[in-house]
Every structure is written in structure tokens, then in C-alpha cells.
């Protein structure tokens, strides 16, 4: 599966893209992070309305590309917030996600809400907070999206967080603690993947990494990419594929039932 | 040792504080993070000058309190920067630190530059970058300050980073990956402490944690403290003391030479 960042939905030709993906036989998902001017957790109804328009457009795009998954920071802005979230803002985000879920349902699209570290949202930093947020949204096509890079900062137990989400986990990012090559940092992927196997997770597992070599200056600056941990994206990607498919097979064996 | 945050040097009575610390027999160090308006890595000479004044005041305070260590983010602002650092800004920081080092030397004070994660500085995120920065400053009373919380995000190998710093490591913060109770997150303190023993580190090891229960709203917002992982600071501190002294003894045994 290839995940397309839909930060700029007008940036590509959807029909041409779909034809290419079908030609090479790869499935597609969409992701995005809202911005301070499209933040559905804002207290400002105009900003919330702008955010909902962006999200509906992204749902349409995913469906037009033949995908069924929209993930990422759909409930908040990808930004270091200057202060804590408010009840009113959180309520706005919950209401917006309910409306978006019903809209997405008409397109056969599921939403997975990415849990991010404290510097990239002030609203949902842990799986526990995410499950509470899902309870409040109360729509079956809204699930959680876990990312190992963020979990390494916020979760007390990465495996414990996976086990807690159970069948409400809809999407997974594997990223290293330093956002570079898998296995070049501090994350214990073995115990994370064993937990995924234990809950019978069968959804997407997508590798994510950032370098100014391929990421635009705006997103690089938001994410704080001040140094590059790789230059060649082909080598990075093929290594990630080998690393994670091998680690998944190990985890499958580790959690295999023998009796 | 008690580390005093000198973000607001006018906030306490130095003579009274020193008398209290001497009475209970505890040594003192000082720490601070510059702000965007006192950032010595700014390209604006007026801002750099303001930063140097703050730093000199902090050096004086540490000396007046009977301490010998000033640590923290002395080279940059404690903030999520909107863009990457510049050569000119870095040059300003190096020059400011040289002048400050010479000033601090007159007070018998050493400076330890804290390496922080990408969301809290754009200038020095790893020990490797820190050593290069020290080379450029070139003053013997300027060393590095490592913090396990930040290292968990940025370093490929926490133990490797310690080994690389060697005798240029001047100060250590132990903090958990989630900034709560030690041992309640993802950090491998055993291998970190073994590396400290291996290099013969004999400087301060100070526990750091944050909660809005005791940290002011400004600093809490800068640090993204959106949820509290503890309420009772006495219990947190006594647990941290037990945890780290026990772990240090284990690391001493692990690295003991038998022949």
C-alpha cells in the first residue's frame, strides 16, 4: 500500500494517479494533518467549517483513488500548540468527526485518527485518550491510528497501548524514534509487532520517514526536520520493506499457537 | 544536588536561599532555557545581547548560591522553531558562549550545554552535533549536558552517545520518555548508566519531570505538558531517588573490573 499525503489535494491529477496505481497493482490510502487555519478543534466555527471542507475533499479523493482509508491528524492541527486544549474545542472536533464519519460512510471510507506526540497536537497524545475520543465520536467507521514514533514519546507501554486498542485499531505507522532507517533508533519493534499479532490486527502497516530531500519546506519546518538521516529514498524504502516484513514474520512465529 | 530553574532570576531571595541550602547541606546548580527574545542564536544582535545579559546574571546567581554548574539550553531558545538554524545564528551562539565561558571562569562556574529534541531547539539535537559545537566554542569550562528524555527521541544509540562524549560530558538529566515516573516509560536506563560508568562520569545526575501541579503555565505550555503524570511531587522525587541510586549501583556492579 502507498499512503498519499493529501496536504495539497490540488497538487496532482487524480485520474492519472489512479491509472498509474492500478497499472502497478498497488493499493492507496490518504493521510493529512490539519493546519491552524483548518483546525476542527478550534473554538472558531469558521475555522472548523474550513477544516471540515478540507476533510470532505480528502474523503472524496481517497474514494476517487480507489482507497478505503483516510488517516492522520483529522481532529486537530499538526502544530506545536501554545496552550492546552479546551472543552469547547474538543467538542467541536468530536462533532466535526461525527459529521465526517457519516459523510465518509457514503463513500465506503474509514477514518483512522492518528495519535501524536505533545509537540504535534494538544488533544490526543495517548491510545487511552484516543479511545475516550472514539467513545465520544461513537461511529463504527472511525478508528485509531497508532504511530511508533509518537508512541515512543508518549506511551508508558507501546505493547500495552496496542492491546488496549484491540479491534478499534484501524491503521499503523511504523517509524523509528529518530524518524530515519528502521532499526537505527530506540524502538522495540519486536514487542510492538507481537502485540499487533496478539490482537489479530490485519490493517495497513505503513512506513513513514522524513527528509528535506523529498519533503517540502513547509512540512519539514512543522515537523522539525533539522537534519537529514537519509538521502536515497529508494534505499530507505527497500530497507524498510525488508525490515518490517521480516520482523512481522518473526512476530507471527512468536505469537503462533501450537496447541 | 538541587537544580534551580533560573528562568526568573528575580523570583527568589538569593541570600535566604543559600542559607537554607547550607542548613540542610544540599549543593545547588542552576539551569535555564533562553526564550525567543533572549536567543543568542538569533541573527539579531540586540536579541543576542539580551541573551548574554540573562546568561551572565545566571552565572552570578549560581556563584552566589555556592554552585559551580550552569546547565540547560544556554545556546538557543526553548521553543519549537519555525525553520532551520542559520550559519550566522550559529556563529552568534558560538561567539556568545565563548564570551560567557570566559566570564563564568572568573566565578569558577562551568557551563553545560543541554542537547534537546527537535521541538525544543533547531541547533543541537544530538551528542555528535554537540561535540562539534563544543569544538567551535573551544573553552575548557564548556561541556555537554545530556538528558535521557531528549536522547530517546534523537540519538540512534543512547549508550553510544554517552561513550562519544567521554570527558566532555559535564551534566546529566535523567527523565523518562513520557516525562513521568522513572521506569514508567520506554527508556533503557541500565544501558545508559553502564555507559556513564564506562566513561568514568562523576558529575551531577539530576532527575527532571514536569507537571502543571508545580510548573508555571508559561513553561508548561512551552514544554507541551497537556496531561499530568503525577500529582504528589514528594512521592515522585523519593521514588526517583530510590530508582536512580539503585540503578547506578547496578551499573557500577555491571561495569566493575574484576581482574
Q: How many residues does chain B have?
A: 259
Instruction: Report the half-sphere exposure of B18 (CA within 13 A, side-chain side).
Output: 9
Q: How far apart are the first and last CA of chain B?
A: 34
A82 contacts on B by Cβ (under 8 Å): 221
Q: Is B213 strand, coil or helix?
A: coil
Dihedral sign of CA atoms A192, A193, A196, A198 in order: negative
> Can you give the pLDDT at residue B259?
84
Q: Which residues of A touch B125 (CB under 8 A)?
A: 226-227
- What angle is formed at CA B72 by the lines to CA B66 and CA B73, rounded to 5 degrees? 140
Q: How many CB pairs under 8 A join A and B?
A: 82
- Give the pLDDT score at B258: 86
Name the residue among A181, A108, A116, A163 with its Cα closest to residue A141.
A108
- Close Cβ partners of B131 (under 8 Å, ≥ 6 residues apart): B144, B164, B165, B168
Nearest to B72 by CA among B5, B118, B155: B5
Closest CA to B145 of B222, B38, B30: B30
Predicted pLDDT at A9: 72
Encode chain A (259 residues) as per-residue pLDDT tens digits: 999 999 877 777 899 999 999 999 999 999 999 999 999 999 999 999 999 999 999 999 999 999 999 999 999 999 999 999 999 999 999 999 999 999 999 999 999 999 999 999 999 999 999 999 999 999 999 999 999 999 999 999 999 999 999 999 999 999 999 999 999 999 999 999 999 999 999 999 999 999 888 888 999 999 999 999 998 999 999 999 999 999 999 999 999 988 8
B83 to chain A, any CB pair closer than 8 A? The answer is yes
- What residues of B are labeled active site? 114, 208
Q: Which residue in the set B83, B156, B184 is minimally distant from A178, CB to CB?
A: B156
A238: cell is 527497500
Dist. CA B31–CA B110, nearest whole Å: 12
**SS3 of B257, please?**
coil
CA A217 to chain centre: 20
Question: Burial level of A82, CB count in 10 A (0-12/13-18/19+)?
Answer: exposed
C-alpha cell at B40: 543568542
Distances, alpha carbon A59 to alpha carbons A16, A33, A146, A216, A243, in Å:
18, 13, 20, 23, 31
- Which cell numbers hold the place of A49? 467549517
Full pLDDT tens readout for chain B, 259 residues: 999 999 877 777 899 999 999 999 999 999 999 999 999 999 999 999 999 999 999 999 999 999 999 999 999 999 999 999 999 999 999 999 999 999 999 999 999 999 999 999 999 999 999 999 999 999 999 999 999 999 999 999 999 999 999 999 999 999 999 999 999 999 999 999 999 999 999 999 999 999 888 888 999 999 999 999 998 999 999 999 999 999 999 999 999 988 8
d(CA A51, CA A49) in angstroms, rounded, equals 5
Query: CB within 8 A of A31, min separation 6: which ones?
Result: A3, A4, A5, A6, A70, A71, A72, A114
Residue B135 CB: number of other CB atoms within 10 A? 10
Interface test with A, best of B153, B158, B175, B222 (most A CBs within 10 A): B153
Q: What is the pLDDT of residue A79?
A: 97
**Is B186 within 8 Å of A85 when comparing Cβ atoms?**
no
- How many Å apart are CA A118 and CA A125, to the nearest integer? 6
User: What HEC string does B72-91 produce?
Assistant: EEEEEECCCCCCCCCHHHHH
Q: Which residues of A are catalytic?
A: 114, 208
Cβ of residue B86 closer than 8 Å to a chain A Cβ: no
Grid cell locating B123? 541547533
Please count the other Cβ atoms lying within 10 Å of the Cβ belonging to residue A247.
19
Whether A34 contacts A76, CB under 8 Å? yes
Query: Quick check: A221 and B84 CB within 8 A?
Result: yes
Helix (H) or strand (E) holding A5: strand A2-5
Q: Look at residue A163 in the predicted model and tell me its pLDDT.
A: 98
List chain B residues with CB under 8 Å of A178: 153-156
DSSP code per residue over B149-205: HHHHHH-S-HHHHHHHHGGGEEEEEE--TTSSSTTSSS--HHHHHHHHHHTT--S-E
**Interface pTM, i.e. ipTM:** 0.93
Amino acid at each position: 500500500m502507498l499512503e498519499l499525503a493529501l496536504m495539497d489535494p490540488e497538487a496532482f491529477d487524480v485520474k492519472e494517479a489512479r491509472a498509474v496505481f492500478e497499472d502497478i497493482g498497488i493499493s492507496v490510502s490518504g493521510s493529512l494533518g490539519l493546519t491552524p487555519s483548518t483546525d476542527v478543534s478550534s473554538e472558531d466555527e469558521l475555522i472548523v467549517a474550513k477544516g471540515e471542507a478540507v476533510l470532505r475533499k480528502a474523503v472524496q479523493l481517497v474514494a476517487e483513488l480507489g482507497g478505503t482509508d483516510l488517516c492522520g491528524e483529522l481532529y486537530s492541527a499538526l502544530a506545536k500548540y501554545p496552550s492546552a486544549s479546551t472543552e469547547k474545542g474538543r467538542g467541536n472536533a468530536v462533532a466535526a468527526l461525527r459529521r465526517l464519519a457519516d459523510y465518509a460512510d457514503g463513500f465506503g471510507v474509514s477514518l483512522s485518527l492518528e495519535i501524536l506526540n505533545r509537540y504535534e497536537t494538544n488533544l490526543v497524545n495517548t491510545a487511552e485518550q484516543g479511545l475516550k475520543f472514539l467513545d465520544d465520536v461513537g461511529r463504527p467507521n472511525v478508528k485509531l491510528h497508532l504511530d511508533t514514533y509518537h508512541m515512543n514519546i508518549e506511551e508508558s507501554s507501546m505493547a500495552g497501548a496496542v492491546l488496549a486498542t484491540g479491534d478499534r485499531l484501524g491503521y499503523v505507522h511504523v517509524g523509528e524514534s529518530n524518524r530515519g532507517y528502521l532499526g537505527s533508533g530506540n524502538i522495540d519493534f519486536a514487542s510492538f509487532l507481537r502485540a499487533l499479532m496478539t490482537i489479530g490486527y490485519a490493517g495497513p502497516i505503513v512506513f513513514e520517514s522524513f527528509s528535506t530531500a523529498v519533503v517540502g519546506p513547509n512540512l519539514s519546518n512543522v515537523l522539525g526536520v533539522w537534519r537529514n538521516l537519509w538521502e536515497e529514498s529508494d534505499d530507505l524504502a527497500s530497507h524498510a520493506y525488508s525490515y518490517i516484513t521480516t520482523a512481522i514474520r518473526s512476530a507471527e512465529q512468536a505469537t503462533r499457537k501450537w496447541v
